[in-house]
Amino acid sequence: MLFGHPDFAGHEQVVFCHDGAAGLHAIVAIHNTNRGPALGGCRMWPYAGEAEALGDALRLSRGMTYKAAMAGLDLGGGKAVIVGDAKTDKSEALMKAFGRAVDRLNRRYITAEDVGTTVADMDTIRTVTDHVVGVTGGAGDPSNSTAHGVCIGILAAVRHKLGRDTLDGLHVAVQGVGNVGRFLCEYLNKAGARLSVTDIDRAALERAERDFGAAVVGPDEIFGLDCDLFAPCALGAVVNDATLPRLKCPIVAGSANNVLDAARHGAALRRAGILYAPDYVINAGGLIDVARFALGFDIETARAKLHRIDGTLTEIFARADAEDRPTADVADAIAEERFR
């Protein structure tokens, strides 16, 4: 069931891609192309089944439409998911098969790196299609840019909620210290923040402990920490019915996509007095970085767009207070004005 799917949200096109010889089972979701071609990463994940993969593709592609609109980019929103374990199922043949599937879409969708895929994978895809960014010699891995934008957004949230212009001495709980999370920890550490971190990757935790003096906590313990800011930087839906009542922080702001399990959780955060930085606004740095190669603008323009994350979030926070509305609802309304 596609058209009646709760996350369908008026998608323009959803393509199921299969190549038996290469072992490819993938879904490309194109949400909206009113502003330009849909750009979004290719995620490789061991989904439990087709329904879970489809739901993820639909939610993520919709988020990319809103992200591009809020970042002021002439792009639409799309996303691809490949069903499989990136550590054991990935092969050159599989990535080329996916690239050929992207090529058949004739630039309606431009792919990029995401969870489970790498710059090397994008290089492989580039051998069969031009509709890919984030390759060697181009933007490469956009994780640093994503983290930089998140740090800029965190400072905007801290200024609005805590009345501070510095992160020095603040306690930040970071959930997920992979590519983006690790870079974010580096920025936060340099700014003087005290870090608590969690991840399912023990080696990543050891690096964060060694490099940034971070305190390591359990995956479940992170939600109940008494801290100044909770930064989700792993997978989505982490603010939900079970975790929200446990949060002991005035701010939620991180790099993860689809942080809220459902829209009602944005209202619940507001009732709890917790400021939420909408994910697709604060984590747009990576998209801005790769978009300059898709759209042809220079690095100075990219930097200017990155620093506008501060002003965009400040506008959202102020409007949410004035209208007594959840920040996520205000962000959605602004984005929809821009792409519809």
pLDDT at 270: 98
In order of 10, 197, 279, 283, the CA distances from 153 in angstroms are 29, 19, 10, 8
Residue that has been written with the tokens 């639409």 in this structure: 76
pLDDT value of residue 12: 97
Answer for the pair 102, 125: CB distance below 8 angstroms, yes or no. Answer: yes
Contacts of 20 (CB under 8 A, 6+ apart): none
Q: Which residues of the chain have pLDDT under 50?
A: none
CA nearest to 265, candidates 282, 283, 284, 246: 246
Quote the CATH superfamily of domain 13-126.
Answer: Leucine Dehydrogenase, chain A, domain 1 (3.40.50.10860)
Give the per-residue pLDDT at 5: 86
79 tagged catalytic: yes
- Is the domain defined by 143-284+310-339 classed in CATH 3.50.50.60? no
> Residue 76 forms beta bridges with which residues?
38
Q: CA 147 to CA 154: how far, in whole Å?
A: 10
Query: The whole model's pTM is what?
Result: 0.92
**Residue 280 to residue 258: CA distance in whole angstroms:** 8
13-126 and 143-284+310-339 in the same fold: yes
The pLDDT of residue 311: 98
Q: What is the pLDDT of residue 325?
A: 98
Q: Which of 67, 79, 96, 161 is catalytic?
A: 79
Instruction: Quote the crossing angle between the two packed helices 143-162 and 179-190, to the nearest 10°.
Output: 50
Identify the CA nearest to 253 among candidates 280, 222, 282, 225.
Answer: 282
User: 234: closest CA among 154, 174, 297, 293?
Assistant: 174
Count of helix runs (H) and strand runs (E) in the chain: 11, 11
pLDDT of residue 154: 98
CB atoms within 10 A of CB 132: 28
DSSP per-residue string spanning 279-340: HHHHTTHHHHHHHHHHH---HHHHHHHHHHHHHHHHHHHHHHHHHT--HHHHHHHHHHHHH-
Q: In terms of C-beta density within 10 A (0-12 exposed, 13-18 middle, 19 or more buried), how is residue 216 classed? A: middle
Check residue 248 and report its DSSP letter: B
Question: What is residue 54's predicted lDDT score, i.e. its pLDDT?
Answer: 96
Q: Where are the domains of the chain?
A: 13-126, 143-284+310-339
